[in-house]
């Protein structure tokens, strides 16, 4: 039996469940779910990624609710979220490569704090960025640990001579681009802060936050400010604040995530088509990473097999069922895609597990909409899988948000170790429903689609085709 024949035949098995949820929804007039046409935009659309990702309206709403005047980010993904920038020193692994601030008061400026050398590139980039404060000096934690407290509390003078950035040829001639770089260097270098701590102080002062309540994603920011004598700011741990804001996406973010998911799916399917008995996990992963890069994305991860994502036999084996789970990143936003891969004719326990999994998938998709709790979706899916014959010890069901992180979900802070909050689906959240079945001795499979939550249902952000991949 060919794959297409099997898929069509399988649609009537296991209680008559259709294999593609979006198709099932369309048969009901599209009241539950909808899918968007897949287009090969990749990196060709110049509008993608031009604007700061920050959901400003939601940020101010959350900050007002929590009594927070400002945000300060140090983690790479949050700096990007507030500034639309990944700095060169971030790629180099500096501990303080950049910071970003956001003021709740719309009349106050927000800032990107970046190294002098990166400032010229950022200032002349073809994208929206906040106001810039250049900084030089200590860029790693140990540089501060070794400094004396007395010396740190006095701002060094002539900060602009610490780092001159790029050299400039005397007299030119210069291209238009070179002139722009020259202008940026002349503008920002004389006013550069001597250290990240003093750059933070300037940003807070210029945005009226030196006496405010600010949430930070890295509490070392508190130490940096205290090290130079700034003690008027109330600093709160803010990782969850950023998550609460990020979990609801803007139209710009949604556009980036559709491309990320498209690339992830197409790269995964290309890798699966290349699978053959004897191939190692490393060979499969290399193929997926290459396919992702060729489509304009940064590879994220690939799991292929069971438990830890490695092939249990070391190589691809005929007659085996594998879980495929993978992600590629487009302009920092993540895709998340999973399928069941069978090497050879689908049969036996693996086929029965797959059909039960699809029952859980469809049951969950029937109730997904704004206002439904994560826990309820997970309960419905699990119960449907068990009712369809999945042993109770096998299924794993997890609904989670996706965005700049693989899990954007806020956590509870009232219990030891981070426990996910009791979240409720909101319009324009982006989520995936993890439905792996993993049973050592039987095999494994998976299904994961990316959904944008709507008021009355969902939008499927990847092509719904072939929840079972047979090679």
- Dump the DSSP string for 241-259: HHHHHHTB--HHHHHHHHH
pLDDT tens per residue across span 247-295 = 999 999 999 999 999 999 999 999 999 999 999 999 999 999 999 998 9
Identify which has the larger pLDDT, 330 or 118: 330
Domain boundaries, the chain: 3-42+248-470, 56-246
Q: Could you write out the DSSP letters of every residue in 430-469?
A: EEEEE--EEETTTEEE--B-EEEE-SSSEEE-S----SEE
What is the spatial distance between Cα 438 and Cα 321, in angstroms, rounded to a whole number? 10
Identify which has the larger pLDDT, 438 or 402: 402
Instruction: Dig out the tokens for 453 from the structure.
Output: 């939550």
Per-residue pLDDT, 313: 83
Per-residue pLDDT, 234: 96
Instruction: Dig out the tokens for 100 from the structure.
Output: 């970003």
Identify whether the C-beta of residue 397 lies closer than 8 Å to the C-beta of residue 433.
yes
CATH of domain 3-42+248-470: 3.90.230.10
Average pLDDT value for residue range 422-428: 91
Rg of the Cα atoms in the chain: 25
Task: Answer yes or no: is pLDDT of 59 > 90.
Answer: yes
Identify which has the larger pLDDT, 158 or 296: 296
Mean pLDDT, rounded, of the chain: 83
What is the spatial distance between Cα 73 and Cα 239, in angstroms, rounded to a whole number? 9
Average pLDDT value for residue range 169-193: 84
Instruction: Dig out the tokens for 289 from the structure.
Output: 């990473």
pTM of the model: 0.87
pLDDT tens per residue across span 363-387 = 999 999 999 999 999 999 999 999 9
Identify whether the C-beta of residue 334 lies closer than 8 Å to the C-beta of residue 402.
yes
pLDDT tens per residue across span 91-144 = 877 777 899 999 999 999 999 999 877 887 787 778 899 999 998 766 666 666
DSSP state of 276: -
Helix (H) or strand (E) holding 225: helix 220-227
Class of domain 56-246: alpha beta
Query: Of 38-42, 88-92, 179-183, where does mean pLDDT reach its minimum?
Result: 38-42
Identify which has the larger pLDDT, 222 or 21: 222
Query: Of 30-39, 102-111, 196-205, where does mean pLDDT reach its minimum?
Result: 30-39
């Amino acid at each position: 039996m060919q794959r297409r024949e099997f898929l069509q035949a399988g649609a009537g098995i296991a209680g008559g469940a259709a294999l593609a949820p979006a198709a099932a929804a369309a048969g009901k007039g599209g009241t539950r779910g909808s899918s968007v046409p897949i287009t090969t935009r990749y990196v060709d659309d110049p509008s993608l990624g031009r604007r700061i990702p920050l959901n400003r309206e939601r940020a101010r709403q959350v900050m007002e609710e929590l009594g927070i005047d400002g945000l300060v980010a140090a983690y790479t993904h949050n700096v990007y979220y507030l500034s639309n920038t990944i700095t060169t020193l971030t790629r180099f692994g500096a501990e303080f490569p950049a910071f970003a601030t956001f003021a709740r008061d719309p009349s106050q400026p927000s800032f990107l704090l970046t190294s002098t050398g990166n400032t010229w590139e950022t200032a002349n980039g073809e994208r929206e960025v906040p106001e810039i404060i250049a900084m030089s000096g200590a860029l790693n934690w140990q540089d501060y640990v070794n400094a004396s407290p007395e010396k740190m509390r006095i701002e060094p003078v002539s900060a602009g001579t610490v780092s001159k950035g790029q050299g400039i040829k005397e007299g030119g001639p210069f291209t238009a681009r070179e002139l722009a770089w020259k202008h940026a260097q002349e503008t920002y270098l004389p006013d550069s802060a001597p250290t990240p701590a003093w750059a933070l102080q300037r940003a807070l002062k210029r945005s009226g936050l030196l006496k405010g309540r600010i949430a930070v994603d890295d509490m070392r920011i508190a130490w940096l400010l205290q090290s130079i004598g700034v003690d008027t700011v109330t600093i709160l741990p803010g990782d969850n604040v950023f998550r609460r804001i990020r979990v609801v996406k803007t139209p710009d973010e949604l556009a980036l995530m559709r491309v990320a998911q498209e690339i992830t799916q197409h790269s995964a399917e290309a890798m699966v088509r290349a699978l053959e008995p004897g191939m190692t996990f490393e060979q499969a992963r290399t193929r997926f990473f290459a396919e992702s890069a060729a489509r304009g994305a940064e590879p994220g991860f690939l799991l292929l097999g069971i438990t830890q994502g490695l092939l249990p036999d070391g190589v691809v084996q005929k007659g085996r069922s594998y879980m495929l789970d993978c992600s590629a990143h487009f302009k920092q936003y993540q895709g998340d895609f999973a399928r069941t891969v069978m090497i050879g004719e689908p049969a036996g326990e693996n086929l029965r597990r797959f059909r039960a999994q699809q029952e859980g998938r469809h049951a969950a998709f029937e109730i997904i909409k704004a206002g439904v709790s994560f826990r309820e979706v997970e309960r419905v899916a699990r119960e449907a899988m068990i009712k369809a014959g999945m042993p109770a010890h096998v299924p794993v069901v997890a609904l989670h948000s996706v965005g700049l992180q693989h899990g954007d979900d806020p956590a509870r802070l009232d219990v030891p170790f981070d426990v996910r909050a009791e979240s409720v689906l909101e319009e324009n959240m982006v989520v995936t429903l993890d439905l792996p079945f993993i049973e050592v001795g039987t095999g494994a499979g998976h299904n994961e689609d990316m959904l944008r939550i709507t008021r009355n249902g969902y939008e499927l952000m990847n092509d719904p085709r072939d929840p079972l991949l047979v090679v």
